[in-house]
Each structure stands twice: as structure tokens, then as C-alpha cells.
């Protein structure tokens, strides 16, 4: 049903997995415009989606900056919640 988009996503993740460069895939739950900056991260494989999960755009940006500065979650796929 998703056609080329799904194929591109699979190729992207394969290329990343085979890369020696540092990378992190950050996925987020439903985005909001609130100002709450509290967050935690869950390994993507352990994440169980729920309609009640939501996070502010500012929080996702903060999490991305924290990951980049701390060099944490290298070669990981995480969900910011």
C-alpha cells in the first residue's frame, strides 16, 4: 500500500545499519505544541504504540540535541516519549 515510500525506508535503514558513521534514528509519538520538556527514551523494538502517547515538538528537539551532545544511543533507533 505504501509502495516506494516503504521501500525507501527499508533501504535507508539498511544503509544506516551498515554504516560506520555515528547515527541515531529518533522517532516520536504524536507531536503537540505544548512546552513540557520532560522526556524519556525507549528502544524502538520495545515500544508499544498507544493513542494517548504524545510529546511536544520542543521536547523532541531537546532530546535530539541531548543525544548529539552526549553521544548516546549511537547506532540505535529510539522513540522519544
User: Residue 1: pLDDT above 60?
Assistant: no
Rounded Cα gap, residues 41 and 67, in angstroms:
10
Mean pLDDT of 8-24: 86
- 20-75 confidence digits (pLDDT tens): 989 999 998 999 998 888 899 999 999 998 989 999 999 999 999 999 999 889 99
- 55-64 confidence digits (pLDDT tens): 999 999 999 9
Rounded Cα gap, residues 1 and 45, in angstroms:
23
Contact 49, 29 (CB under 8 A): yes
Contact 32, 57 (CB under 8 A): yes
The pLDDT, as a whole number, for residue 62 is 94
Amino acid at each position: 500500500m505504501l509502495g516506494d515510500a516503504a521501500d525507501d525506508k527499508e533501504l535507508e535503514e539498511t544503509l544506516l545499519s551498515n554504516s560506520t558513521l555515528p547515527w541515531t534514528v529518533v522517532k516520536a509519538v504524536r507531536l503537540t505544541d505544548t512546552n513540557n520538556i520532560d522526556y524519556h527514551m525507549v528502544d524502538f523494538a520495545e515500544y508499544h504504540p498507544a493513542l494517548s502517547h504524545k510529546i511536544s515538538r520542543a521536547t523532541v528537539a531537546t532530546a535530539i540535541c541531548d543525544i548529539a551532545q552526549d553521544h548516546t544511543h549511537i547506532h540505535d533507533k529510539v522513540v522519544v516519549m
